[in-house]
Structure 1
């Protein structure tokens, strides 16, 4: 897996991201991808080879291993990292779409034509919704994979001994031993903790975007209301002045008519 290419693609998201997303991206690549590539793959490299059972029945060890490990931790984390980083590419694609529209608009109407977007990377309109959707998608993926990890192994702990029973071709109850369970347990807790922190950051960013949008809308509404009130007040003030002016001119007109 070429993690450098994925990192190069996602690094472009930082130009359009909030502070929460920048911290999230740094956490993913430093504490998850780097740990996965450098250490986790080697720790789980012997999981099937050193999965020992107290029987020599052909096929029993493979059946027991498949029963307790329907999918390897390391492969599940690889899928999780791929799925959880892909939504960020939606933002890049949306910005690229805006830039392409802007380029075609200049080619059609000239370089001095009005721009379609004041800033193609600014989160407003459809890009804001795309960014928010990517956050919800990341949040769902993180929670789903944590649930799968907890559900498949009845928790995040790895026992030293697992008992394999009522599985053909294993005779009766077979005891099987996991290779280096303590080391694998430490890495499991570390990856779960990093994933939990990423979930918290994603939730904070979602609330930040929503509250910021509500605050901006409320502020714009108040400004528009004040401007309308000010325009009405100015109109009424001018109308009162014109009435006073007319009332003052009326006696003069009457006096002139009397003189005539």
Structure 2
């Protein structure tokens, strides 16, 4: 994956997320992707070569390391990042498809109608909640947020069950083909313990941001519902609904009737106006002939 594609993907995600969602994305990129790519690769580079046991029995070292670490820390965190960001990527694809179809529909309706609809005002770059609600993406956004939160909880529990809270300096192994209880030693256990705790903290921070965003969206929806209820008015009908189309057609008919009424009212005045007002006889004859043509129609 190239950095240019990743940059475009991040820009698209920030355009369809709230302020807390943008903060979560920053934590994901800086404290997960960059930290894992820079620090994790250097720390866990010798996890197998630095794992030594006090035996020369062939195959015992590999069996003991497989028992000690069924899944590598780095591979576990990579798998975690991929699955946690998958709901956001799916939501982004849905949002782009939904908005493209909506823009095409609006364009066709504006071309067919005589009076173009009013353009919706652009929200500020920080007001992601209002923009998501206006674009009809609130349900999909909340759904991907719930799935992302559940995945964070599941991976936190799995990380604790697999690795615990500390990387021990030694490990007692008794597996075939080891002849007896073998003591194995882990390279740089203190450094790996610190990095493990940092990844716990980052996962906890991402989970906290998800919960804050859910609370923010819930409180925003409740506040909007109460404001509509206390105001005692319903929102204006959408120009794309059936009621909006009927009102638009009624306004067009009223406008045509007013124009026809102005033509019929001005016709007799022009026909009966005396020539002493300063108008030329030719213009009075033209007005009378125009009124006669309108009357025949």
Q: SS where residue 159 of structure 1 aligns?
A: coil
Give the Cα separation in 2 of the matches to 1:210 and 1:104: 31
The change in CA–CA distance for 1:86 and 1:156 in structure 2 (over 3 A counts) is same
Give the Cα separation in 2 of the matches to 1:146 and 1:173: 32
Segments ≥4 residues shifted beyond 6 Å: none
The change in CA–CA distance for 1:8 and 1:128 in structure 2 (over 3 A counts) is same
Q: Which is higher, the Rg of structure 1 or of structure 2? A: 2
Residue matched to 2:158: 148
Residue matched to 2:196: 188
Residue from 130, 139, 147 that aligns with 1:129: 139
Residue matched to 1:229: none
The change in CA–CA distance for 1:163 and 1:21 in structure 2 (over 3 A counts) is same
Residue matched to 1:12: 12
Residue matched to 1:160: 169
Q: SS where residue 205 of structure 1 aligns?
A: helix
Which 5+ residue runs of structure 2 have no aligned equivalent? 123-127, 235-297
Q: How does 1:1-260 map to 2 (within 5 A)?
A: 5-106=5-106, 108-109=108-109, 111=111, 113=113, 118=120, 122-124=131-133, 126-153=136-163, 155-165=164-174, 167-224=175-232
- Residue by residue over 1:9-53, the C-alpha shift from the partner in whole angstroms, topping out at 9 and shown as x without a partner, is 133211222221111111111111111111111211110111101
Structure 1 residue 108: Cα displacement: 4.3
Structure 1 residue 126: Cα displacement: 4.8
Give the Cα separation in 2 of the matches to 1:11 and 1:36: 22
Root-mean-square deviation over aligned CA pairs: 2.6
- Residue by residue over 1:47-89, the C-alpha shift from the partner in whole angstroms, topping out at 9 and shown as x without a partner, is 0111101111111110011111110000000011111122212
Which 5+ residue runs of structure 1 have no aligned equivalent? 227-260
Q: SS where residue 45 of structure 1 aligns?
A: coil
Give the Cα separation in 1 of the matches to 2:216 and 2:4: 30
TM-score by length of 2: 0.69
Give the Cα separation in 1 of the matches to 2:2 and 2:150: 25
